[in-house]
Each structure stands twice: as C-alpha cells, then as structure tokens.
Structure 1
Amino acid sequence: MSRTAARRQLSRDGLLMLLLILVPVLASSQLPRVTGSLSDGLAFPLFFAGLALLFLSLPRFTAYKHALIDTEKSFDSDAEPAAWTALRLVRLRALRVAGLPAWVAALGAPLGLEPVGQLLLVCGSLTLLLLYRVPRQLQ
C-alpha cells in the first residue's frame, strides 16, 4: 500500500467515525423522552459514565503515538506497508473508544440526559477525534 493510498484510507476512516459519532446523537435527540422516576435517576449516572469513558482513551492514544513513530521509522523500507496497516488498526481501535462518550450521550437523550450534558460528551468525543488525526509528517 502506498503512502497516498494509506493516508486516503485513514482519512475515510476518520470521516466515517465522524458520522458514527454525530448521527446517533442527532437521531436520538429526535426521540420522545421517557418520563418517570427511572429516567430521572439514569441521566446523571449516564453523564458521569460518559465522562469516565473519556479516560479509556489514554492508553489507546499512547499506542497510537507509538504506531505513528513506528510508521515514520519504516519509511522507504520493506516494512512500510505493514506499518501503515498496523497504524490503521491501532487508530480504528482508538477511534471506537473515542466515540463511546458520544454514544452514551445518544443513549441518554431519550432517558432524560440534558442537552448540555449531551453536548459536552459529544464535544469530548470530537476532541478525541481531532487528536487521532494523521500528522503532516507522515506524507
């Protein structure tokens, strides 16, 4: 796999993940809210669970940075295609973990999670998505 093809694939993965973060939240915000004491009791724990899920991204970010370094070291060698493949796999795992807070926000929307809480969780996921972009040094 060439560098341009690998970067194009990584770009497509990022756009797909952006859609997978935003679409469920937008769709679930259109659902009717569940009323009752159960939904009132679930909103606050769901928000804190979403915040806690942000911290699951720390080990994934470390692995991603190491994969970036390994990919840059393998430039113009026989190991370059394997390094790009490994970088993509590590990045996909990290992007899935980065999307968890937004998915919790999507689950919490019909259960009474306030729009401000949803926005904070989605912004946290989008910020993590920005951290996992491929730097220009890998061109």
Structure 2
Amino acid sequence: MTRGEVYQRLELAWWRQLGLTLAPLLLACLFFKASEPGIMALLLFAMGAGSLLISVRTHGVYKRALETTRTHLDTAQEPAAWLNLAAVRRIAFLAASTPAWFAAIGVLFSLHAALVFLLAFASIGLLFLYRIPRLVPPQPAA
C-alpha cells in the first residue's frame, strides 16, 4: 500500500469517527423532547467536561506515535509504524468522542441546549487534533 493510500484510509477513518461521534447526539435531539432539567443533567455535563481530561493523555501518546511514524518513513519499519499510529489513533478517537456521548445521554435528562453544544463542539475540536498531517521525511543532521 502506498503512502497516499494510507493517508486516504486514515482520512476516511477520521470522517467515519466524526459521524459516529455526533450520530447519537443528533438522534437523541430528534427523538426526545426537553422537560424540566434535573440534577442528573448537570451531573452528566460535569462528567462530560471531566472526560476532556482523558484526551490529554491520549494526545501525548498519539503525538509520540506520529513522531515515530515520521522517523520511520522510507525504512523497513514504516508499515508497522503506520499500523501502530492507526491503533493509537483509534483509542484517542474514543477519548475524544466521550464529551459528545455524555451530551447525548444528557439530552435524555433534559440537559440545556447550550451545554449540549459545548460538549459536542469540544468533541469536534478534540477530533481535529487527531487529523493526520502531511508527514515530511526527517531532515539529515547538519
């Protein structure tokens, strides 16, 4: 598989994850009507906001895997580095999606729309961190 095909598959996986992240939220918003919010709604918002901290650790692991992939370009270890990057990225996708999933559950408990949007946009912002940049082969030491 060429490097361009790998980029294309990883880009498609990103779009697929964006859909999987937002689909439960959109379905919950379409099929459930808001009533009087309770303490459970605020608790779900707090848990969703707290789940942002999970992504701090996964982002560090992702950046290290990205750097490893960059250093292994044009070597025999390149296919294994791409596979490792994809595996690390899948775990990071799950961590990035949790705020939106908490928002979807919060809709069931009448979480205010502004808080739902905050959690959804937080997930979208986190997902943007995991887009694959165009990797440049390492420069030789001067």
TM-score interval, smaller chain:
over 0.9
- The match for 1:104 among 97, 102, 105 is 102
Shift of 1:34: 7.0
Distance in 1, Cα, partners of 2:124 & 2:20: 11
Query: Which residue is equivalent to 1:89?
Result: 87
Task: Point out where structure 1 has 5 or more consecutive residues left out of the alignment.
Answer: none
2:76 counterpart SS class: coil
Q: Which residue is equivalent to 1:15?
A: 15
- Higher mean alpha-carbon deviation, 19-28 vs 81-90, is at 19-28
After superposition, residues 1-139 of structure 1 pair within 5 angstroms as 1-33=1-33, 35=35, 40-137=38-135
User: Deviations for 1:40-91, whole angstroms, at most 9, x for unmatched residues?
Assistant: 1210000000000011001100000000100010011100000000000000
Contact 1:2 1:81 in 2 (8 A): no
Cα–Cα, structure 1 residues 138 and 126, in superposed 2: closer, same or farther, change >3 Å? Answer: farther
Distance in 1 separating the partners of 2:87 and 2:2: 16
- Residue 73 of structure 2 aligns to a residue in which SS? coil
Q: Percentage identity across aligned positions?
A: 34
- CA gap 1:24/1:9 in 2 versus in 1, 3 angstroms: same
Q: How far, CA to CA, are the matches of 2:28 and 2:47 in structure 1?
A: 18
Return the alpha-carbon distance in structure 1 between the equivalents of residues 127 and 44 of structure 2.
Answer: 21
**How far did 1:4 drift?**
1.3
Deviation at residue 35 of structure 1 after TM alignment? 4.9
Question: Using a 3 Å threshold, how does the CA distance of structure 1 residues 23 and 79 change in structure 2: closer, same or farther?
Answer: same
RMSD, matched Cα = 1.6
How far off is 1:21 after superposition? 1.4
What stretches of structure 2 of length at least 5 have no aligned partner?
138-142
Query: TM-score if structure 1 supplies the norm length?
Result: 0.92
Q: CA–CA distance in 2 between the matches of 1:138 and 1:11?
A: 17
- Check 1:34–1:120 CA distance in 2 against 1; reply closer, same or farther (3 A cut): closer
